[in-house]
Amino acid sequence: MAGNTAPEPAFFDVAIVGAGMAGASLAFELAPHLRVLLLEQETQAGYHTTGRSAALFSEIYGNAAIRALSRASREFLQSPAAGFCDQPLLTPRGSLFFAAEQQLDRLHALHDEVGPRSPRLQWLAHPALLARLPALRADSVAAGVFEPDACDIDVHALHQGYLRGARRHGAQICCDAMLTAAEQTAGRWSLQTRAGNFSAGLLVNAAGPWADGVAGIAGAAALGLTPLRRTAMVFEDKTEWASEHWPLAVDIDEQFYFKPDASRLLASPADETPSPACDAQADEYDIALLIDRLETTTLLSPRRISGRWAGLRTFAPDRTPVLGFDAARPGLFWLAGQGGYGIQTAPALAQLAASQILRRSIPPAIADQGLDAQTLSPGRFASA
């Protein structure tokens, strides 16, 4: 009978799955050009890894591709467009990699590798290291590499700026809208979500720890992305001499790190425990390990722990993000595997993803850093 047919689902040029930093930043870049739908399974965008980071921007952290993406992101973070947010996104912090005597070869290797691109990098011999960070135990460290230009990132302001900007350009942001089924016919996706059905020309997988699962929903092969749990805590220190001006300090083998966080300290045992995609929780063992490492290598002595949490940093097998069209499933685009760097690299990753989706050439600021599309392409796993 006429009149009983279900209404056609709303059509979007692009449906992005996941409203963490990856999905939000891409929605921001695409919304001025395309009809964009951003789907988030939680009632609140940013609930998972994006809301649980240490909020650091460092150009010497991660592998060569990550460092190039970070350098290419600095301009956006330092000078976002007018109206993007009301406060600075970056605040000077500095980062300090330190080493014990037996780790010095690794510290030298880092210095040699990143030095040429970071002329302001400083090698700190023992006295200079202790002067920079008096919390280190003199007998457990030998030297350090100091990056003066590392910054704290206002993650909330960045994420909200992206979401606000996307919305301003007409993007529809649907929370409580888990994607449960996706079928592609004649170049169009029919999408079922907990918030209703939609139709889209392109499906973007920005689902963080769930990215391999979302690929399965879309009929594509998993890429072997692994969520690794990382724990953090905020604490007050018994010694009460912690300074807001200390840099983020991390040992060269990334066994733990700490940095000031308002009037307290934030620290992590830098754990990487494989985990299923889930609402990750801090494990007491990892907190105990962290306290032990802090007390062994520093003069700090945690008194009151005022917050503890964990999040999932999701890595591809080569620890480089995955960005590009699926090799075998036309209409599916990957923006995943950002690991522990998805905040500081978000601007460059989103600009690069948007350039591919809009069929434009690679943005010069990214090409200038020596990055090419193949390095990040999901097809690199197929050819391997």
Ligand X SMILES: Cc1cc2nc3c(=O)[nH]c(=O)nc-3n(C[C@H](O)[C@H](O)[C@H](O)COP(=O)(O)OP(=O)(O)OC[C@H]3O[C@@H](n4cnc5c(N)ncnc54)[C@H](O)[C@@H]3O)c2cc1C
Whether residue 30 contacts residue 162, with contact meaning beta carbons closer than 8 Å, is answered with no
Residue range at the interface with ligand X (CB under 6 A); choices 8-16, 339-347, 353-361, 376-384:
339-347
For residues 116 to 155, the per-residue mask of contacts with ligand X, x marking binding by CB under 6 A and - elsewhere, is ----------------------------------------
Instruction: Check residue 349 for interaction with ligand X (CB under 6 A).
Output: no
Map residue 159 onto helix, strand or coil. Answer: helix
Instruction: Check residue 47 for interaction with ligand X (CB under 6 A).
Output: yes
Residue range at the interface with ligand X (CB under 6 A); choices 80-88, 283-291, 333-341, 364-372:
333-341
Cα separation, 212 vs 201, in Å, equals: 20
Taking CB under 6 A as the criterion, the residue among 12, 23, 226, 302 binding ligand X is 23
Cα separation, 72 vs 373, in Å, equals: 14
Whether residue 73 contacts residue 56, with contact meaning beta carbons closer than 8 Å, is answered with no
Q: Which is nearer to ligand X, 144 or 227 (CB)?
A: 227
Q: Which is nearer to ligand X, 12 or 143 (CB)?
A: 12
Cα separation, 169 vs 291, in Å, equals: 47
The CB density around residue 2, as the number of other CB atoms within 10 Å, is 4
Token pair 């996104």 in the structure block, residue: 89
Q: Which of residues 158-197 bind ligand X (CB under 6 A)?
A: 178-179
Residues in the interface with ligand X (CB under 6 A) total 40
In the bound complex, what is the minimum distance in angstroms from residue 59's beta carbon to ligand X? Answer: 11
Q: Which is nearer to ligand X, 325 or 341 (CB)?
A: 341
In the bound complex, what is the minimum distance in angstroms from residue 47's beta carbon to ligand X? Answer: 6
Instruction: Check residue 311 for interaction with ligand X (CB under 6 A).
Output: yes
Whole-number CA gyration radius for the chain = 22
In the bound complex, what is the minimum distance in angstroms from residue 139's beta carbon to ligand X? Answer: 29
CA distances in angstroms from 51 to 88, 147, 212, 280, 353, listed in the order given: 18, 25, 21, 12, 22
Map residue 10 onto helix, strand or coil. Answer: strand
Give the chain's end-to-end CA distance (angstroms, integer): 55
Instruction: Check residue 62 for interaction with ligand X (CB under 6 A).
Output: no
In the bound complex, what is the minimum distance in angstroms from residue 361's beta carbon to ligand X? Answer: 25
In the bound complex, what is the minimum distance in angstroms from residue 142's beta carbon to ligand X? Answer: 25
Q: Which is nearer to ligand X, 125 or 181 (CB)?
A: 181
Instruction: Check residue 236 for interaction with ligand X (CB under 6 A).
Output: no
Cα separation, 131 vs 141, in Å, equals: 12
Q: Which residues contact 341 (CB under 8 A, 6 or more apart)?
A: 61, 62, 66, 69, 70, 321
Give the residues lining the site for ligand X (CB under 6 A).
17-23, 39-42, 47-50, 52-56, 178-179, 206-210, 214, 230, 232, 268, 311, 313, 338-344
